[in-house]
Amino acid sequence: MTKEGRISKESCHQILNDTLSMLKKEPNLLKLKDPVTVVGDIHGQFYDFVKMLDVGGDPENTKYLFLGDYVDRGSFSVEVVLLVYAIKLNYPKTIFLLRGNHEWRQMTAFFNFRIEVLTKYDEDTYSLFMDTFDTLPIGCLVNNKFLAIHGGISPDLKSLDDLNNIKRAKEPPRSGLFCDLLWSDPVEDDSGYCESLFKNNEGRGWSYLFGSAAASKFLN
């Protein structure tokens, strides 16, 4: 893939279908022990991703947790997803993937992932990509101490059981716990916040902003 080739549609679909079957068996909340290398947004930057793997360590014996946002913005989202899925298939005990807020149909249609897939493949392939995104786990508990999610906490998140009870195999809604886990944002200064400890996230148009008080209450 670093030689700028393009795999066949048949091979692409095989990777997607095999990954779909594997991800369906994983829980909403993964549980890992350190050491683990946590990776944030990749956003279609394929060559940066390849370099990161070179620096971070061989996936065969280096545990990775990806926090989502594999697609959009960059021009090589297809290649990023296929590579991370291929690594996941080869090393299922060291590679773990979470869903980000760009792994859903609304965002990929608004940004460039859908157009990229249609240019490189077709509508059926795009639909299959999205089906795999629907099966991605939502969170990960590291050392039974650190909660890793793409976005932030929610006023509807009272315990980890709430996260486990989400029916994740679908397009995320625009409100509620599933949405907030992907979209809510932390702020440094939460002075003046309402008693609920959350403010509407007007910048995004949905979900919430939360500060240290809300985080401390959740952790307690």
Catalytic residues, which ones?
102
Dig out the tokens for 172 from the structure. 């995320």
CA dist., res. 13 & res. 26, Å (int): 20
Measured in whole angstroms, how far is the alpha carbon of residue 201 from the centre of its chain?
20
Looking at the chain, how many residues does it have? 220
Peptide bond into 35 cis (omega under 30): yes
Task: Report which residue type is found at 45.
Answer: Q
Phi then psi dihedrals of residue 25, to 5 deg: -85, -10
- Find out whether 211 and 187 touch, Cβ atoms under 8 Å: yes
Task: Write the DSSP symbol of residue 112.
Answer: S
CA dist., res. 135 & res. 132, Å (int): 5
